[in-house]
């Protein structure tokens, strides 16, 4: 069912044309009211169906498009100790603002932290600028800016798209 409260029309999609025709016959014969009104039921013609499918695809593409990221959300660190994990990085940065994501794997010497707002990232950079320890090692922190920031965001979006497109998730039988 594709209907939004307040709209004057909606659509019911069926897996097979036979199901749609049987439902149409039953609904037309019943004369049932929906929210105090008696709806008019009909099948879409081929052109209307194609236009509807196009609108659904456009709406889904807009919903699935990643939101734009503000500039100034990213900090890069170098020099982390081998025992450092994401939770330690997040806790350390969380002292200065809200951390949205830590892009780091245990054993790496460097990583990237994405903050909720540019102000949070700036506060963290100011607080961490003197060097903070991660995994027993002093780390250097800097803002990710310009082309480096654009390239990083593009790479992350590419990874996300690859994960989203892989496998057959969501095809279960509800068991």
Contact 149, 71 (CB under 8 A): yes
Q: What is the pTM of this model?
A: 0.59
Sheet holding 137-143, edge to edge: 99-103, 110-115, 74-78, 137-143, 132-134
| pLDDT at 169 > cutoff 60 | no
pLDDT, position 171: 53
**What mean pLDDT comes out for the span 73-87?**
95
Q: How confident is the model over 81-104, as a mean pLDDT?
A: 94
pLDDT in tens, 26-35: 877 777 777 7
pLDDT in tens, 113-144: 999 999 999 999 999 977 789 999 999 999 99
More confident position, 6 or 40: 40
Q: How many CB atoms lie within 10 A of CB 71?
A: 15
pLDDT value of position 149: 94
């Amino acid at each position: 069912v594709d209907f939004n409260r307040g709209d004057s029309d909606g659509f019911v999609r069926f897996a097979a044309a036979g199901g749609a025709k049987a439902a149409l016959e039953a609904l037309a014969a019943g004369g049932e009211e929906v929210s105090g009104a008696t709806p008019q039921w009909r099948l879409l013609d081929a052109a209307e169906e194609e236009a509807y499918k196009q609108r659904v695809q456009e709406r889904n593409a807009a919903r699935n498009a990643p939101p734009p990221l503000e500039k100034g959300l990213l900090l890069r660190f170098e020099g982390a100790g081998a025992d450092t994990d994401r939770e330690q990085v997040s806790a350390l940065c969380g002292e200065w603002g809200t951390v949205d994501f830590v892009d780091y794997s245990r054993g790496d010497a460097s990583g990237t932290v994405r903050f909720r707002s540019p102000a949070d990232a700036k506060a963290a950079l100011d607080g961490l600028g003197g060097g903070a320890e991660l995994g027993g090692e002093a780390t250097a922190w800097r803002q990710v800016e310009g082309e480096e920031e654009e390239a990083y965001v593009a790479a992350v979006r590419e990874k996300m798209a690859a994960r989203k497109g892989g496998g057959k998730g969501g095809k279960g039988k509800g068991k």
